Structure 1
């Protein structure tokens, strides 16, 4: 008699493991990571579930494959793409730019987008520094003995 093969618990009462299709498929796919749910992709990427759905709706990411029940499935490449988009957004890139960058953009295109972003950041920094100078000047005009603060009047006038 041939030695018995390991039997899966759920199959033990019905048949031998060698003839069980789930045994063969588990063995075949042992090195392949299974697809994951949207919740798992969200947890691994740090991107919210609703944001992932929004990205799919707006075309930022390609549509995820679905189960028969309609649930989205994600693989490691999709999670990596979500992480890249999140990183691009942290650097201030628009969703359109982040989507373009996540499509494996060539290096010159990435450099051009980054240079544009650097120029925009420098302009924003200059604006913020000008606001800081104006606010410091208003604060220096404040006197503790005054009932009405001239700084508030200066802020109101700056908005005209």
Structure 2
């Protein structure tokens, strides 16, 4: 006996709308960051997370958790940013295995230079398209999905 709960019309519309919007937004954001700053979206997210952290530093494990990425994926991206002089790594005092990613002066400059164009695009493509009620619904709904996925350690 088939116990599958198939999606109804409204549920399918929500799912396909989410997929289309997330893919189209992702592509546009990735292209804008590449064109304007020669950064990938993950690299930009690393720089902005570091810029928001105390002293522009975070342990690599904290950074990976915040970005919902694997340690190996983060290491690759941080290595690319390190090669371009925007991030440096150092040992965490008192923890031989602990590594801290630190934003350099070049990294701070890149964030200040890139953020206005990135925010303008996010506003144009998402924020300013929706009403306050729609933004609230999206924030609450996707926030709940994220909380449940994090709680179940599904990534």
Please state which band the TM-score falls in when normalised by the shorter chain.
under 0.3
Q: As a proportion of its length, which structure holds more strand?
A: 2
Q: As a proportion of its length, which structure holds more helix?
A: 2
User: Relative contact order: is structure 1 or structure 2 higher (C-alpha 8 Å, sep ≥ 6)?
Assistant: 2
Q: Normalization by structure 2: what TM-score?
A: 0.27
